[in-house]
């Protein structure tokens, strides 16, 4: 076990962005997002610090997934600014976000169903692979060298997530829990400095949840990857996260360490409902 | 029993990335290669070359081109016939302008013209997909065939409106035109098809192939793992149309010998699409299996009743052919949407684990 962990320790997967743990990696300032007349997010501000696990929680329809979509450039907010690694940005394309080091997983698994586990994770390395059509055609020299170099990285992830046995299986045939794990693998292959996880444990049984929690902690501690996660299982959220931001009806109602959030009156009201 | 993978261990990723990780597959391909390069040419009659071998190869190549676009990148196209036409007319014009040029070079160049036209008509794919894209490629089909008819410069202003392949030779051997022998034409086509197939296999299993398949399986997720959709789609159109164009040039120069615009009309597009579907979308092997079936079927329907002494008129054969192909397509769409290639994959899997069921 320890040899296994050491092997991963020296993979400097987290990008060198010149930030120290605890510095602000992503700062969301007064962001508002609306779809026509429907306000999904209203004037929300919070930050994500390097090296932490940041949970975003809230009841259904609170705007959590919309928030992730804003962070990775899928939606452009009407108001507010997002500062990532000290640089302000407003409109961007999702593949730009990837190039900057933001990777994510989805609430409903969004894998490439016809491709094997290996190919899915290899696809996560597309941003790093450059060899031209000419070399690809020959499958010799540079293209093969590149392919093998990235295959080695991918195999490290496969070992890390303990999915060696399904390497060649088309992911469409895998059970849900494993699909979630492959999706995490694909996101890790992008070597993100910020990893967004949208309900990584939805629909899992206890054992699968334990495995996934272990992977999330390992990713955070060994690779130094900053994680923002949305999760409904409060036990998991409270155990895993360093800080929790709570959204309700698109507004921020709390932002604190897990113990304080748990005791927050507004949060309890939002979750349990309150008689007006 | 012969198909055992036991004891074949990979000790490097390079070995794991080999084209045939299973040794028996390499042997099987070796046998097929010997058949294709030695046995068939020695044994085949002129009729076999012209009615079976050469058309199977050319249709396989066209289907391979379409398969890259539709099977790998998930972009439906109904304009294959017209893109073949672009390749053929481009080759014709190149040979007219540079009469001394090597035919192989001319065919290689003509692919670039169809690639350019393919990319141009692929631009709508950035905005639309599925059936709507199919309609856009259908527009290409009608427009290009109209162009082949109306733009007389393309057929050197000949009165018939058709293009006629002149006598062309390479290294002293006639490869195209009325004097060319079937066997040289066969070898020429086989060499081109083999090279393009190797290139296609290499592209589809590497970075670019993964990019295409990712776009096919879920384009939004592809974008979110950092794949540029525009590059992925347009490169699929370019590579696909290049291969289709080369197939079109071979189609006219090495097989038909002459062509009129309506040769490239929609029935040809459908024929190639049927080969790709029956053979198996998203597979290289499938194109060959599909082409063998589609090309051989009418020949078999013609020969078998005759050999059995049953009098069948040629129109009956024609109808039987259409009915059988129609029936096969419906059967494949229902029973095995991944086509003949999947059947082979299943047989292979069964053989590897035989005599155990799983």
List, for residues A194-235, the tens digit of each pLDDT value. 999 999 988 888 999 999 999 999 999 988 899 999 988 888
CA distance A207 to A185: 19
Number of domains, chain A = 1
Chain A residues within 8 Å of chain B (Cβ atoms): 72, 74, 93-95, 98-99, 103-104, 106, 110-115, 119, 122-124, 126-127, 129, 131, 133, 136-139, 143-144, 146-148, 151-152, 155, 186, 190
Among candidates A98, A110, A112 on the partner chain, residue whose Cβ is nearest the Cβ of B213: A112
Domain that holds residue A154: 112-190
CATH of B49-353, one of 1.10.3470, 2.60.40, 2.40.50, 3.30.70: 1.10.3470
Q: Are A71 and A28 in contact (CB under 8 A)?
A: yes
Q: Are A154 and A125 in contact (CB under 8 A)?
A: yes
* Nearest Cα residue to B54 out of B177, B191, B166: B191
Which residues are CB-contacts of B17 (< 8 A; sequence separation ≥ 6)?
A: A144, A147, A148, A151, B205
Question: What is the rounded average pLDDT of the residues B49-60?
Answer: 92
Query: B179: pLDDT confidence band, cut at 50, 70 and 90?
Result: confident
> Which chain A residues are Cβ-neighbours of B228 within 8 angstroms?
95
CA angle A139, B291, B113 (to 5 degrees): 60
Give A262's Cβ-side CA count (13 Å radius): 13
Residue with tokens 């054969």: B317
| The two structure tokens encoding residue A93 | 């394309």
A143 within a domain of the structure (yes/no): yes
Residue B35: DSSP 8-state: I
CA distance A115 to A120: 6
> Which chain A residues are Cβ-neighbours of B221 within 8 angstroms?
106, 110-112
CB contact under 8 A, A138 and B211: no
Pairing of strands A226-230, A53-57: parallel
Across A87-96, A111-120, A259-268, B92-101, least confident range: A87-96
The DSSP-derived string for A225-257 is -EEEEE-S-HHHHHHH-SEEEEEETTEEEEEE-
CB contact under 8 A, A148 and B208: no
- pLDDT over threshold 50, residue B118: yes
CB burial of residue B343 (10 Å; 0-12, 13-18, 19+): middle
A6 within a domain of the structure (yes/no): no
More confident residue, A193 or A12: A193
Helix axes A2-9, A141-160, angle to 10 degrees: 140
CA distance B342 to A15: 42
Q: Are A100 and A157 in contact (CB under 8 A)?
A: no
Among candidates A95, A138, A151 on the partner chain, residue whose Cβ is nearest the Cβ of B228: A95
More confident residue, B157 or A54: A54
A149 within a domain of the structure (yes/no): yes
Residue B124: DSSP 8-state: G
CA distance B253 to A260: 79
Instruction: Using DSSP, state whether A109 is helix, strand or coil.
Output: coil
Query: B331: pLDDT confidence band, cut at 50, 70 and 90?
Result: confident
* Nearest Cα residue to B71 out of B227, B283, B233: B283
Question: What is the rounded average pLDDT of the residues B86-113?
Answer: 92
Among candidates A110, A129, A147 on the partner chain, residue whose Cβ is nearest the Cβ of B221: A110
What pLDDT shows up at residue A3? 39
CA distance B99 to B89: 15
Closest residue, chain A, to B212 (C-alpha): A123
What pLDDT shows up at residue B128? 85
The DSSP-derived string for A4-39 is HHHHHHT---S---SPPTTSEEEEEEEEEEEETTEE
CA distance B116 to B125: 15
Q: Give A180→chain B minimum CA distance, Å.
A: 14
B355 cis-preceded (ω within 30 degrees of 0): yes
CB contact under 8 A, A123 and B211: yes
CA distance B323 to B321: 5
Residue with tokens 């040029």: B101
> Which chain A residues are Cβ-neighbours of B17 within 8 angstroms?
144, 147-148, 151
CA distance B90 to B117: 11
CA distance A89 to A71: 10
Give A81's Cβ-side CA count (13 Å radius): 7
CA distance A86 to B132: 43
Write down how long chain A is: 276
pTM of the model: 0.88
CB contact under 8 A, B214 and A112: yes
> CB count, 10 Å around CB of A15?
16
The domain spans of chain B are: 49-353
More confident residue, A179 or B3: A179
CA distance A8 to B113: 50
Residue B254: DSSP 8-state: I
> CB count, 10 Å around CB of B331?
11
List, for residues B221-270, the tens digit of each pLDDT value. 898 888 889 999 999 999 999 999 999 999 999 998 889 999 999 999 99
> Which chain B residues are Cβ-neighbours of A103 within 8 angstroms?
225
List, for residues B131-159, the tens digit of each pLDDT value. 888 998 999 999 999 999 989 888 888 88
What pLDDT shows up at residue A12? 37
Backbone angles phi, psi at B315, to 5 degrees: -70, -35
Q: Give A260→chain B minimum CA distance, Å.
A: 35
List, for residues B186-203, the tens digit of each pLDDT value. 999 999 999 999 999 999
* Nearest Cα residue to B278 out of B301, B265, B296: B296
Query: A4: pLDDT confidence band, cut at 50, 70 and 90?
Result: very low
Q: Give A94→chain B minimum CA distance, Å.
A: 5
Q: Are B80 and B276 in contact (CB under 8 A)?
A: no
Query: B27: pLDDT confidence band, cut at 50, 70 and 90?
Result: confident
**Alpha helix segments (H runs only) across B123-206:** 131-150, 182-205
List, for residues A243-268, the tens digit of each pLDDT value. 999 998 888 888 888 888 888 888 88
CA distance B314 to A97: 63
A161 within a domain of the structure (yes/no): yes
Query: A274: pLDDT confidence band, cut at 50, 70 and 90?
Result: low
Backbone angles phi, psi at A9, to 5 degrees: -65, -40
- The CA-based dihedral angle spanning residues B47, B53, B57, B62, taken in that order and rounded to the nearest 10 degrees: 40
CB contact under 8 A, B224 and A74: yes
How far out from the chain centre does Cα A72 lie? 10
Instruction: Using DSSP, state whether A102 is helix, strand or coil.
Output: strand
Query: B172: pLDDT confidence band, cut at 50, 70 and 90?
Result: confident
- pLDDT over threshold 80, residue A150: yes
What pLDDT shows up at residue A48? 93
Cα dist from B122 to B235, B237, B310, whole Å: 10, 6, 49
| The two structure tokens encoding residue A134 | 């000419």
For all residues of chain A together, what is the average pLDDT? Answer: 85
CA distance A6 to B76: 48
Q: Are B224 and A198 in contact (CB under 8 A)?
A: no
Query: A11: pLDDT confidence band, cut at 50, 70 and 90?
Result: very low
Instruction: Using DSSP, state whether B175 is helix, strand or coil.
Output: strand
- pLDDT over threshold 50, residue A149: yes
Write down how long chain B is: 358
């Amino acid at each position: 076990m320890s040899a296994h962990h050491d092997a991963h320790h020296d993979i400097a997967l987290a990008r060198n962005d010149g930030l120290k743990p605890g510095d602000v990696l992503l700062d969301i300032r007064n962001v508002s997002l609306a779809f026509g007349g429907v306000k999904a997010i209203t004037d929300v501000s919070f930050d994500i610090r390097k090296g932490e696990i940041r949970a975003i929680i809230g009841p259904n329809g609170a705007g959590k997934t919309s928030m992730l979509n804003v962070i990775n450039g899928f939606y452009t907010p009407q108001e507010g600014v997002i500062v990532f690694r000290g640089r302000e940005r407003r409109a961007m394309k999702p593949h730009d976000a990837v190039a900057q080091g933001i990777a994510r997983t989805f609430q409903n698994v969004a894998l490439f169903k016809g491709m094997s586990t290996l190919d899915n994770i290899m696809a996560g390395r597309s941003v790093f692979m450059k060899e031209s059509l000419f070399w690809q055609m020959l499958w010799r020299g540079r293209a093969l060298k590149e392919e093998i170099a990235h295959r080695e990285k991918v195999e490290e992830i496969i070992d890390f997530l303990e999915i060696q046995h399904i390497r060649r299986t088309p992911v469409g045939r895998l059970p849900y829990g494993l699909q979630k794990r492959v999706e995490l693998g694909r996101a890790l292959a992008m070597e993100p400095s910020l990893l967004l996880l949208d309900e990584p444990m939805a629909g899992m049984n206890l054992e699968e949840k334990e495995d996934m929690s272990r992977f999330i902690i390992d990713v955070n501690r060994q690779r130094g990857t900053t994680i923002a996660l949305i999760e409904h299982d409060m036990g998991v959220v409270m155990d895993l996260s360093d800080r929790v931001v709570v959204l309700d009806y698109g507004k921020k109602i709390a932002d604190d360490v897990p113990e304080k959030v748990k005791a927050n009156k507004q949060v309890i009201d939002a979750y349990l409902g309150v008689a007006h | 029993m012969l198909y055992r993978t036991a004891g074949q261990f990979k000790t490097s990723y390079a070995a794991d990335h080999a084209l045939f990780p299973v040794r028996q597959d390499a042997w099987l391909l070796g046998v097929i290669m010997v058949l294709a390069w030695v046995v068939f040419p020695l044994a085949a009659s002129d009729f076999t070359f012209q009615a079976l071998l050469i058309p199977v190869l050319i249709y396989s190549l066209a289907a391979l081109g379409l398969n890259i676009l539709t099977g790998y990148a998930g972009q439906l196209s109904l304009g294959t016939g017209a893109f073949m036409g672009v390749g053929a007319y481009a080759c014709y014009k190149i040979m007219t302008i540079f009469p001394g040029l090597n035919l192989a070079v001319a065919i290689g160049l003509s692919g670039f013209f169809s690639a350019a036209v393919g990319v141009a008509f692929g631009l709508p794919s950035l905005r639309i997909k599925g059936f709507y894209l199919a309609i856009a490629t259908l527009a290409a089909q009608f427009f290009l065939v109209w162009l082949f008819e109306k733009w007389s410069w393309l057929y050197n202003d000949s009165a018939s409106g058709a293009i006629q392949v002149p006598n062309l030779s390479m290294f002293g051997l006639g490869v195209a035109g009325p004097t060319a022998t079937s066997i040289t034409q066969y070898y020429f086509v086989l060499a081109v098809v083999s090279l393009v197939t190797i290139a296609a296999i290499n592209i589809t299993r590497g970075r670019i192939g993964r990019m295409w398949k990712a776009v096919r399986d879920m384009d939004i997720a592809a974008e979110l793992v950092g794949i540029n959709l525009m590059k992925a789609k347009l490169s699929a159109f370019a590579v696909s149309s290049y291969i289709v164009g080369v197939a079109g040039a071979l189609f006219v120069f090495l097989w038909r010998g002459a062509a009129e615009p309506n040769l490239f009309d929609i029935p040809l597009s459908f024929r190639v699409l049927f080969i790709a579907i029956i053979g198996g979308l998203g597979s290289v092997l499938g194109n060959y299996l599909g082409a063998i079936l589609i090309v051989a079927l009418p020949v078999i329907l013609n020969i078998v009743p005759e050999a059995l002494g049953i009098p069948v008129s040629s129109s009956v054969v024609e109808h039987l052919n259409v009915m059988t192909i129609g029936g096969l397509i419906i059967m494949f769409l229902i029973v095995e949407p991944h086509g003949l290639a999947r059947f082979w994959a299943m047989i292979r899997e069964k053989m590897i684990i035989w005599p155990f069921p799983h």
